Amino acid sequence: MNDALDAALRTAEELELETRGRRTGRPHRVTVWFAYDPPNIWLRTDPDADWLRNLVRDPHCRIRVGASVADAVRVAIADETAALLDVVALWRAKYGQEWVADWYVERGRVPVRLRLRTA
């Protein structure tokens, strides 16, 4: 990983996630909150989010953080409940307690782990 990408992941509030549409095959982009815990990028979402369904079909994706772009892949999570609690703790540290309420855990959210692909 290059230094610019690492710095962007450590300081940016959001990233753009690009998945491949599961029906159309076209790029699908969303802006999401994330936590960076090297080597993982952690997201959370509703289980029926389009971008998550795209990643289930094809785990390869691309992220854009500021001017940095990188390929990534969704990695399976053995214990989603524990991972979601970890994600919420990372988000509280990053975004602040007042912005990250317990509903991130209690409303059927799922954690998503991305791993940057190396060349």
Judge contact between 84 and 92, C-beta under 8 A. Answer: no
Average pLDDT in the chain: 90
**pLDDT reported for residue 104:** 54
Q: Which stretches of the chain are assigned E, i.e. beta strand?
A: 14-20, 27-33, 35-37, 40-45, 60-65, 68-75, 110-116
pLDDT of residue 95: 87
What pTM was estimated for this model as a whole? 0.89
Residue (of 18, 36, 114, 45) closest to 75 by Cα position: 114
Range of the domain at 12: 3-116
Lowest-pLDDT choice from 39-43, 57-61, 64-68, 95-99: 95-99
CATH number at residue 95: 2.30.110.10
**pLDDT tens-digit readout, 78-103:** 999 899 889 888 988 998 877 776 55
List the one residue out of 43, 48, 52 whose CA is nearest residue 14: 43
Q: How many domains does the chain have?
A: 1
Helix (H, G, I), strand (E, B) or coil at 4: helix
